Every structure is written in C-alpha cells, then in structure tokens.
A and B are shown apart, each in its own frame.
Chain A
Amino acid sequence: MRSNGRTDEHQLRPLSASFGVLSRADGSSRFGFGTTEVLASVFGPKEVRIRDEKIDSATLQISVRPLNGLSGPLHRLAERQLRDLIEAAVLASIHPRSAIQVTIQVTGDDGCFMSAAVNAASLALLDAGVAQRHLLASVTLAFDPNGTLLLDPSLKELETAKSVHTFTFSNSNDAVIAGVSSEGVYSQDEYKQACTVAQQACATIHSFYRKTMEQKLAPQ
C-alpha cells in the first residue's frame, strides 16, 4: 500500500489548489500533491533596478525556498528549471523594463516538491493576470528497484528509486514536452513508459485546474 491509501502505481495523490491566498502579492496560489504542498506568489509587472532591466522584455526573478534549513544547490537547480519553463510560458515582451517576481515557499514536503512548485507558479501567474501562452502541469515519476513505475512517489518511495523523472506538459499542445528532468539509471523503454504515464497524469492536472478556476469564477 502506497502513501495516502493508494493501491495503484499510476495513481496521483489527492490534488489541492487555491488562489488569492496572500494579501500583498499581485497573485498567489497553493498547490499540493497529498501532504506535499507549495505556496507561490507573483509580483509584477513591477519596477526593476536599472542594472537588471531588459529593454525589450520583462526580467524574471525566481526564488525557491525550502521549509527547513537554508536553501542550497537543490533549490538553485529548481529555480533554474522553473525559470526555463516560465520564460517559455510568460509573454514577457509586452512588459519591457519591468520585473516579474515569482517566489516559491515549500510548506510541506513528502516528495515531488519540484512538480508542485511548477504547478503552483503557473496558477499564481494566472491569479496575478500575467499574460501567458499556456498553463503548465508537472508530475514526478520513479522506477522502484523492481522496475515498477510509480507515479507521484512519496519521500520513502524516492529514497529507494532507481531513477526519477519530472515531466512538464503545457495545455496548448500535449504532444510536446514543455520540460523534463531525469536522474538515475534507466532504459529507453522505461523513459518512454514514464513519458506516456506522465502525459496522462498532466492532462488530469490540467482538467483539475479548469474545474478549480470554474468554481472560483462562476460558482453555482
């Protein structure tokens, strides 16, 4: 039996999302896979320091902060991956010489905080009304020592995993991978299997976004 009472290897933990959580931020959101939860905030387009400004586009400032301890190389890596994804999604050229600041705070970590961060950031940008090309949905998968593919692994499952893959798909073209990051030892077939399962899971997350937005904007 997996965490959260799951029996299926290809089952996501219960998803949770909310908007407008913070008062000062222009946009904010919370996203969770079970007890792994992340809070994201967006400020912008706002004033930028002259040394950071770009004449033809908004400057993206991304920060990822852990729940425990000081942030380290793992969080710098997360910031880098998040930046690449957000840069491709946000229409930064309509706000030159300004800054769009995205901050991620991990509030609970039972594995897969990076995927939760991508999802929370996408929703926070949505809440802030920043123009985007598409929305992003991300999931993490792991292969256990027996070669079984586990979707949305917990920390315990990640500890013994042979390889871990984080896939991100946009909602505008789900045949194209928006971002992927893999580590460990895995075969081509395993990668393809992970990709297929990830695609389906991300489609589920995109429907979840839509339902959550519909409840917020047109509550019946």
Chain B
Amino acid sequence: MVVLPGDIVPIPESEQTVRVGPGLRQDVANIVVAKAGILKQSVTGDRVWVEGNQRRYVPQLNESVIGIVTAKHVEGFRVDIGGAHPATLGALAFEGATKRNKPNLEIGALVFARVCLANKDMDPELDCVNPSNGKADGFGEVKGGFMFKCSLGLCRSLLDPKNPFLQHLGAICPFEMAVGMNGRVWVDAGTPKQIIVLVKALLGSEAVPYSKARTYVKEFKSDLTSVE
C-alpha cells in the first residue's frame, strides 16, 4: 500500500519487538511515515519499513560504495561518494598495507570501498578490506571500464542475486560489474561498444519488470555480439 509522509502506520501484531526501518519514524506513541513509498512488512511481522526510491546517497555503515579520489594526504585520501560530506579513506586501510608499502591512488581514481564509519555528525570513513578476514575481497582501486550513475533503487536491484537481467546479459556477453550503493555502477567488458550497450541495457532495466527480462535483453543481443 502506498504511504505518504504524515500517515500513521498501525503497529503490527507481534510478540517480539517491532523494528522500525527506513522511511518511518517514531512520534511519541505512533509510527509515522517520513518518506513516500510502499509500506512493507517482514513475514514474521517484526520489521516494518517503507520501500521507496531516491537518488541522493546518505552513508550507512557496511555498505559498499564507489568513490572518486579528490585529494591525497600523508594519512590517506579524500574521496567523493556523492553524499553531503566527502569521505576519508585511510592510507593503511588496504590489505597488506604498511607504512612503507602504501597504495598509490591518483586523483580521479575510482575505488570500490566499504563504509566503516557513518553517523550524522561526522564525515564518513571508508576502508578497502573485508572486516572479517582482513582481505581485499574485491575492494580497492578499480581501473578501466566505465562508471555510470543511477537511482539507489536500481543499485539495490542490481545487487539482488535473483536479478534476471544480469544472468541473461552475462550469458550473451561476459562482463565485470561493481555496484556501489551510492548510486554508482562500474562496468567493464571486451570492447567499448559492448560497454556502451551494457550501460544502456542496465539503465533501461529499471523500468522493466523481472518477468519481462528475457524479452527485454533479447533486443540488445545483436549489438552485443556484432563484430565491428
């Protein structure tokens, strides 16, 4: 059901504590909607949130983002992640980095990083390691390819393991992709033409329901496989 800011959400029947998610806020005894969207509830009834879409990113802990390096300092890098504040990426926040062996990122470089500190009163911080094992696990500088911007909703859908567009597209033309939850997606494939067609296909997939994915992807087949 579609909800608008100001609507009061009835507290779902549940014996457990109900967690109030994004798009909702507590106002004394009521749960009130703060953003427009579709009201969703978990099957067990212990979580309730508003599913909406927006383009501006607000940093959240543990989310992976794609940043652009804007400045280099001794202690680390200043990275633009598209939010209200620039983020800092420590010089040693990489796998195997030591004082003598620091990564050398140039201004304008793309990094795929993890938000390790995010609260409303401080500038966000990033690192390029998986906290559980200290390995890079895909984080770090991203070279080549092309990056495009999209809505946060499309990013979430591209991270969905069940997303059929990625499977169908990958079957026609293998490609590499890094999805930042800050509305930025990086793509690399064999030729520039394939990258251009893939970007168009991915951006357009936002308006197409999952059920029509196969027919939608077929339209791009000839452009992706032509040899020119």
Which residues of A pack against B, CB within 8 Å? 26-27, 43-48, 55, 89, 91, 94-99, 126, 128-135, 170-172, 209-210, 213-214, 217-218
Given contacts A98-B85, A131-B35, A132-B34, whether A45 and B56 have CB atoms under 8 Å apart is: yes
Contact, CB under 8 Å: A129 / B4:
no
| B23: chain A residues within 8 A (beta carbon) | 131
Contact of B36 among A44, A46, A89, A213 (CB under 8 A): A213
- Nearest to A58 among chain B residues (CB) is B84
Of the listed residues B2, B36, B38, B58, the one surrounded by the most CB atoms of chain A closer than 10 A to its CB is B36
Q: Are A131 and B34 in contact (CB under 8 A)?
A: yes
Contact call A132/B54, Cβ cutoff below 8 A: no
| Min CB–CB distance A103 → chain B (angstroms) | 15
Q: Is the CB of B4 within 8 A of A209?
A: yes
A171 in complex: contacting residue of B4, B35, B38, B121, CB < 8 Å: B4
* Extra pairs beyond A217-B2, A217-B38 (7, CB < 8 Å): A43-B56, A46-B84, A47-B86, A96-B121, A98-B84, A132-B34, A133-B5
Q: Does B53 contact A (CB under 8 A)?
A: yes
Also in contact, A134 and B6, with CB within 8 A (given A27-B54, A45-B56): yes
Check B58–A134 contact: CB distance below 8 A.
no
**5 contacting pairs across A/B (C-beta < 8 A):** A98-B84, A99-B84, A128-B55, A131-B34, A213-B36
Contacts of B25 in A (CB 8 A): 91, 131
Among the listed B35, B36, B38, B84, which residue makes an inter-chain contact with A97, where contact means beta carbons less than 8 Å apart? Answer: B84
For residue B120, CB closer than 8 A to chain A, the reply is: yes
Bound form: Cα–Cα A217–B32 in Å: 19
Q: Which of B7, B84, B86 has the most CB of A within 10 A?
A: B84
Interface residues on B, range: 20 to 34
Closest residue of chain A to B5, judged by CB? Answer: A132
Q: Which of chain B's residues 45-98 have a Cβ closer than 8 Å to chain A?
A: 52-56, 58, 83-86
Q: How many A-B residue pairs have CB under 8 A?
A: 87
Per the bound structure, the CA–CA distance linking A26 and B32 in Å amounts to: 23
Bound together, the chains give a CA A132 to CA B23 distance in angstroms of 9
Cα-based distance from A55 to B83 in the complex (angstroms): 17
Report the Cα distance A99→B84, complex, angstroms.
Answer: 8
Q: Which residue of A lies closest to B80 (CB)?
A: A47
Cβ A48 vs Cβ B36 within 8 A: no
Instruction: Give the docked Cα–Cα distance between A160 and B55 (Å).
Output: 45
B37 touches A (CB below 8 Å): yes
CB-CB under 8 A from A130, the residues of chain B are 35
Residue among A94, A95, A218 making CB contact with B2, cutoff 8 Å: A218
Interchain CB contact under 8 A, B84 and A133: no
Complex Cα spacing A8 to B104, Å: 72
**Chain B nearest Cβ from A70, distance in angstroms:** 31
Which chain B residue has the least Cβ–Cβ distance from A211? Answer: B2
Contact (Cβ within 8 A) A213 B4: yes
Contact B56 A46 (CB under 8 A): yes
Question: Chain B contacts of A209 at CB under 8 A?
Answer: 4
> Which residues on the A side are within 8 Å of B84 (C-beta)?
44-48, 95, 97-99
